[in-house]
Amino acid sequence: MALDAATITAIADELAAAERDRATVPLLTGRYPTMTVEDSYAVQNEWRRRGIAAGRRLVGRKIGLTSKVMQAATGITEPDYGAIFADAVFDNGAVIEHAQFSNVRIEVELAFVLAEPLRGPDLTIFDVLRATEYIVPALEILSSRIELQGRTIVDTISDNAAFGGLVYGGNPVKAGDTDLRWVSALLYRNETIEESGVAAAVLNHPATGVAWLANKLAQHGGYLEAGEIVLAGSFTRPMWVEQGDTVLADYGPMGTISCRFV
């Protein structure tokens, strides 16, 4: 790590204030040019620790930047991950306050709900499928507390991988009941199709991202627990949403998800 503990804490303070005040801060990499990926996960870990200490309940993880389309949209070429708290999970059809987020965008994903823990290293998609209770359609709400232009993986990880919220719904399926690579979705904003995609865009199989995450956590002594929700990564480009927009994602046989921003 290039940064000392005091600097890590100061950055976590700054990002917590940005989340509270619904604001953005200048690029971390512009101010801390020696900041490493390890530093950025240390910032994220401090943010997560404070949330748990304040009574927030950790319910899962998100994986980001797993598809070529998302990497092209951000200019970042490796996956990352962040934490999901229970108070950031919304039911299908939810009415959501737009102003609680910054730089608000929507992504189309699949969420894996684990029946068994996943402990790396060296896990494969077959380990993930065996451990998964079901897979469900999900929308991720992105909220960037760091300015977007010029971001690197270090900025994104520090910002909890730009996670804002999760909307889930549709028809849960068992891992062996459908070919997850060919799950597709149409993303509508205000009754107009804006994006479409197929889940194989996520590392050739959406379970690959979950295996990557479990193996990554194992490098730091962590693992995925039974019952956790894991957002496997977007297979469309992020879609900007504004106050007053209605969003609907149609997953065909797996059903639909919708939400409205007010």
Report the pLDDT averaged over residues 132-145: 97
- pLDDT mean over 151-162: 92
With a cut of 70, say whether residue 76 has pLDDT above it: no
- Quote the pLDDT of residue 74: 64
Tell me the mean pLDDT in the region 35-56: 93
Q: Structure tokens of 249?
A: 């994602």
pLDDT of residue 215: 95
Q: pLDDT digits over 220-230, tens only?
A: 889 999 999 99
Bridging pattern class, strands 89-91 and 94-96: unpaired
Q: Taking 70 as the threshold, does the pLDDT of residue 71 lie above it?
A: no
Would you say residue 176 has pLDDT above 80?
yes
pLDDT tens figures, 184-196: 999 999 999 999 9
| Whether pLDDT at 131 is above 90 | yes
Residue 182: per-residue pLDDT:
97
Output the DSSP codes for the chain.
Answer: --S-HHHHHHHHHHHHHHHHHT--B--HHHH-TT--HHHHHHHHHHHHHHHHHTT--EEEEEEES-BHHHHHHHT--S-EEEEEEGGGEEETTEEE-GGGSSS-EEEEEEEEEESS-B--SS--HHHHHHHEEEEEEEEEEE--SB-STT--HHHHHHTGGGEEEEEE-S--B-TTSS-GGG-EEEEEETTEEEEEEEGGGBTTSHHHHHHHHHHHHHTTT--BPTT-EEE---SS--EE--TT-EEEEE-GGG-EEEEEE-
Dihedral angle sign, alpha carbons of residues 168, 216, 221, 118: positive
Average pLDDT, the chain: 93
- Average pLDDT on 172-184 reads 95
The pLDDT of residue 220 is 84
Please give the average per-residue pLDDT across 217-238, as a whole number: 94
Q: Is the pLDDT of residue 150 over 80?
A: yes
Tell me the sheet residues that pair with 111. 136, 231
